[in-house]
Structure 1
Amino acid sequence: MAPKTPSASERAWLDEHGNEIEDHDRGLVYDLQTLVDRRRALTLFGGLGVAGALAACSAGTSSTSMTTSAASGSTSPAGTTSTAGAATSAATSSTTTDADLVEAPDETAGPYPGDGYNGQNVLDDSGIVRRDIRSSFGSSTTTAEGVPLTIKLTVKDLATSSALVGAAVYVWHCDRDGSYSMYSEGAEDENYLRGVQATDDSGTATFTSIFPACYPGRWPHIHFEVYEKVADATSSGPIVKTSQIALPQTASEVVYATSGYDRSVGNLAQLSLQRDNVFGDDGGIHQLATMSGSVSTGFTAALTIGV
Structure 2
Amino acid sequence: MTRIITPYPADDHDHHDDVNNLGLQADSAMLARSAVDRRRVLSLGLLGIGLLVGCGASATTPGTGSGGGTTGTADCPAAIPSETAGPYPADGSVASGQSLNVLTRSGIVRSDLRTSLSTGHTAAGVPLTVILKLVNTNSSCAALSGYAVYLWHCTQSGEYSMYSSAVVGEDYLRGVQESGADGTVTFQTIFPACYSGRWPHIHFEIYPTLASATSAPGKIQTSQLALPRATCDAVYATSGYSASVSNLSRVSLATDNVFGDGVGTQTPTMSGSVSAGYTANLTVGLAR
Structure 2: how far apart are the matches of 1:211 and 1:304? 19
Identify the range of structure 1 (157-166 vs 210-219) with the bigger mean alpha-carbon deviation.
157-166
Residue 155 of structure 1: which of 131, 134, 148 is its match? 134
Structure 1: how far apart are the matches of 2:260 and 2:93? 25
Task: Give the deviation of 1:89 after TM superposition.
Answer: 3.6
Q: Which has the larger radius of gyration?
A: 2
Is the aligned partner of 1:103 residue 2:90?
no
Structure 1: how far apart are the matches of 2:131 and 2:144? 14
Structure 2: how far apart are the matches of 1:52 and 1:296? 40
Q: Is the alpha carbon distance of 1:301 and 1:48 closer, same or farther for their aligned partners in structure 2, counting shifts above 3 Å?
A: farther
Match for 1:144: what amino acid?
Answer: A
Match for 1:109: what amino acid?
Answer: A
Residue 185 of structure 2: which of 179, 200, 205 is its match? 205
Q: Is the alpha carbon distance of 1:114 and 1:261 closer, same or farther for their aligned partners in structure 2, counting shifts above 3 Å?
A: same
* Identity of matched residues, %: 51
Residue 195 of structure 1: which of 171, 175, 182 is its match? 175
Instruction: State the SS of the aligned residue for 2:128.
Output: strand
Is the aligned partner of 1:223 residue 2:212?
no
1:241-256 to 2 correspondence within 5 Å?
Answer: 241-256=221-236
Counterpart residue number, 2:109: 129
Q: Is the alpha carbon distance of 1:239 and 1:212 closer, same or farther for their aligned partners in structure 2, counting shifts above 3 Å?
A: same
Is the aligned partner of 1:116 residue 2:92?
yes
1:96-128 Cα distance to aligned partner (Å, 9 max, x none): 243xx2111000000100001021000011110
Asked whether the equivalents of residues 16 and 110 of structure 1 are also in contact (C-alpha less than 8 Å), the reply is: no
Counterpart residue number, 2:146: 166
Counterpart residue number, 2:162: 182
1:220-261 Cα distance to aligned partner (Å, 9 max, x none): 000000001111002555211000000000000000000000
Structure 2: how far apart are the matches of 1:106 and 1:289? 16
Instruction: State the SS of the aligned residue for 1:254.
Output: helix
Q: Is the alpha carbon distance of 1:219 and 1:125 closer, same or farther for their aligned partners in structure 2, counting shifts above 3 Å?
A: same
Instruction: State the SS of the aligned residue for 1:243.
Output: strand
Structure 2: how far apart are the matches of 1:279 and 1:136? 29
Q: Give me the TM-score of the superposition, normalised by structure 1.
A: 0.72
Match for 1:181: what amino acid?
Answer: S
Q: Give me the TM-score of the superposition, normalised by structure 2.
A: 0.76
Counterpart residue number, 2:277: 298
Structure 2: how far apart are the matches of 1:265 and 1:129? 33
Asked whether the equivalents of residues 206 and 219 of structure 2 are also in contact (C-alpha less than 8 Å), the reply is: yes
Structure 1: how far apart are the matches of 2:88 and 2:220? 19
Asked whether the equivalents of residues 167 and 227 of structure 1 are also in contact (C-alpha less than 8 Å), the reply is: yes
Q: Is the alpha carbon distance of 1:51 and 1:128 closer, same or farther for their aligned partners in structure 2, counting shifts above 3 Å?
A: farther
1:76-99 Cα distance to aligned partner (Å, 9 max, x none): xxxxxxxx635x347xxxx7243x
Structure 1: how far apart are the matches of 2:277 and 2:247? 22
Asked whether the equivalents of residues 269 and 282 of structure 2 are also in contact (C-alpha less than 8 Å), the reply is: yes
Structure 2: how far apart are the matches of 1:216 and 1:128? 29
